[in-house]
Amino acid sequence: DDGDHVPALVIGSGYGGSVAALRLTRAGIATAVVEMGMAWNTAGPDGKIFCDMLDPDRRSYWLRTRTDQPVGYFLGIDANRSIERYTGVLDSERFAGIRVYQGRGVGGGSLVNGGMAVVPRRDYLAEILPSVDAAAMYATYFPRATAALGVNAVDPAWFETADCYRYARVSRDQARASGYATTFLPNVYDFGYMRQEQAGTVPRSALASEVIYGNNHGKRSLDKTYLAAAAATGRLTITAQHVVTAVAPAPAGGWAVTMNQLATTGGTVATKTVRADRVFFAAGSVGTSKLLVAMRAQGRLPDLPAAVGQGWGNNGNVMVARAQHLWNTTGALQSGMPAVGIDNWADPAGPVFAEIAPFPAGTELWISLYLAITKNPNRAQFAYDSATGTVGLTWRTAQNQPAVAAAKRVFDTINKAQVTVYRSDLFGVNKVWGDDLTYHPLGGCVLGRATDDYGRLPGHPGLYVIDGSLIPGSTGVNPFVTITALAERNIERIIATDLA
Ligand code: FDA
């Protein structure tokens, strides 16, 4: 409440925020989490918490009057529809050159993501985060993260027979026949539950076209793992539908955190300021970077390092789809949780790690969809616009050309070997590459540059960054396991040295 004083305040409830919440509360510290999105725990009139991808309603998008699907076209026609403006679960935040998809709600990205829980390659982690002891990460923090996240693996024998993974087998077999290695992807979706979905013994979720607007069953999202464990300590409070707008030194010591309580239509209901001894920025790569850049420009935290707001990247994301031959059906039933990736990362001419993505339209479409992660070296910065009081991102769509080029090498090879072609009707009219969007915003407050080697903001005792903004633009794989493990590493040190 307005005027409260708390020992620790966490801004945002995604991976970084949830790790902070669990470890702080377990260390005996009362912790307040402030989250701009809703607490997704109440069913709507249809008996469901979340809507599916075939019939999106107001629950789907964050404050939009029209859906903004990542695959936005079909046969070149805009496939989006009008919705009621509401604080829905998926944000497609539009900057000049890119749409950045993010989860909004208690659990952050874990509510909307594909659940793929991939540990990065060790040599690549050492390359992107040279100041981090890789041995300790792989011995201690990755295992700690994957255990707490509830990561599990698909049963390979079941995978080979399940209808819902026909799409993945077709793409996998063609990739292999074209000379590429493939790999199973661990996931936080309960594969035991999915098996029962396939068998028809439980309500369907991953098999009912649920994923990017939330899963009603089966998914071990953060509200069910880290945050539930933190709540069990009795020391956690979560305040949903409150957006933090300012952080500045408090006259009485510590930090004054100002927030707006939001109505579901997006308007401000009330403004509150609380005082916190310690503040953990866990608003995600975009949220944390925007907030800190604005605070520096507005003179509230004028001495933040110049590196705050720099080093942002899209993890080299690019989407693409291939048209299959009529005899290669991809299946009307497709699990929303990807289970296989094409691993061509070792190729020095253009590393690519591509997930075989579902196209869960509920009908046979002969489409093979991919989300490719590439090693795009381009980076962008967040910049404050004093005229509008908003923070923009300098990324230009053309900066994603290296990603397109790397993915094109792989999929041209597959198309040639399989005598197939690209779909050019799904990302626009005559547009093969989904190159103007990312699911993996990373960087903006890079570890060891904007912060010290554990996420402390230099010169600002008690301010910490603990989310994807610490990672310099790329992980080479889907990022949430890296974000979680790095947060585990950093919070352990912070609790031991700063909070003891
Ligand atoms: P995250 O974005 O999770 O959390 C930040 C939270 O802070 C959000 O809840 C936000 O609402 C809140 N917030 C922001 N600003 C605020 C403010 N000013 N005040 C209060 N709250 C604020 N990754 C992966 O590894 N495997 C996968 O399969 C996928 N799939 C995938 C699909 C889709 C559709 C998306 C959008 C993303 C993925 N990802 C993914 C990416 C993954 O979800 C992402 O990397 C993490 O959620 C990032 O974790 P963070 O903790 O950095 O922020």
Q: Which pLDDT tens digits describe the chain residue by residue (500 residues)?
A: 888 999 999 999 999 999 999 999 999 999 999 999 999 999 999 999 999 999 999 999 999 999 999 999 999 899 999 999 999 999 999 999 999 999 999 999 999 999 999 999 999 999 999 999 999 999 999 999 999 999 999 999 999 999 999 999 999 999 999 999 999 999 999 999 999 999 999 999 999 999 999 999 999 999 999 999 999 999 999 999 999 999 999 999 999 999 999 999 999 999 999 999 999 999 999 999 999 999 999 999 999 999 999 999 999 999 999 999 999 999 999 999 999 999 999 999 999 999 999 999 999 999 999 999 999 999 999 999 999 999 999 999 999 999 999 999 999 999 999 999 999 999 999 999 999 999 999 999 999 999 999 999 999 999 999 999 999 999 999 999 999 999 999 999 999 999 98
Q: Which atom of ligand 1 is nearest to the CA of 90?
A: 36
The ligand 1 atom at the shortest distance from the C-alpha of residue 481 is: 25
Would the pTM count as exceeding 0.90? yes
- Identify the pLDDT of residue 3: 84
How many A from CA of 180 to the centre of ligand 1? 30
Which residues have C-beta within 8 Å of that of residue 327, sequence separation ≥ 6?
Answer: none
Give 128 Cα–ligand 1 centroid separation in angstroms.
20
User: Strand 268-281 and strand 463-465: pairing?
Assistant: parallel
8 Å CB contact between 88 and 213: yes
Q: Are 272 and 9 in contact (CB under 8 A)?
A: no
Residue 312 CA, ligand 1 centroid: distance in Å: 15
What count of other Cβ atoms lies within 10 Å of the Cβ of residue 306?
9
Q: Which protein residue has the closest C-alpha to ligand 1 atom 24? A: 478
Beta-strand pair 382-385/268-281: unpaired
**Residue 270 is inside which H or E element, if any?**
strand 268-281
186-225 exposure pattern, b = at least 16 Cβ within 10 A, e = fewer: bbbbbbebbbbbbeeeeebbbbbbbbbbbbbbbbbbbbeb
H-helix or E-strand containing 7? strand 5-11
Which residues are within 8 A (CB) of 189 and not within 5 positions of it... i.e. 6 or more apart? 115, 206, 215, 218, 219, 220, 337
Residues 498 and 339 sit within 8 Å (Cβ to Cβ): no
Active site residues: 355, 440
- Asked if residue 160 lies in contact with residue 492, where contact means CB atoms within 8 angstroms, the answer is no
Q: Copy the structure tokens of residue 38.
A: 């809703």
C-alpha span between 142 and 138 (Å, rounded): 5
Instruction: Return d(Cα 398, Cα 379) in angstroms, integer.
Output: 12
The span from the CA of 194 to the CA of 335, in Å, is: 8
Give the atom of ligand 1 at the shortest distance from the alpha carbon of 484: 51
Helix (H) or strand (E) holding 292: helix 284-297
**Alpha-carbon distance 171 to 246, whole Å?**
47
Lining residues, ligand 1, CB within 6 Å: 11-16, 34-37, 101-104, 108-109, 112-116, 212, 243-244, 282-285, 287, 291, 439-440, 467-468, 478-480, 483
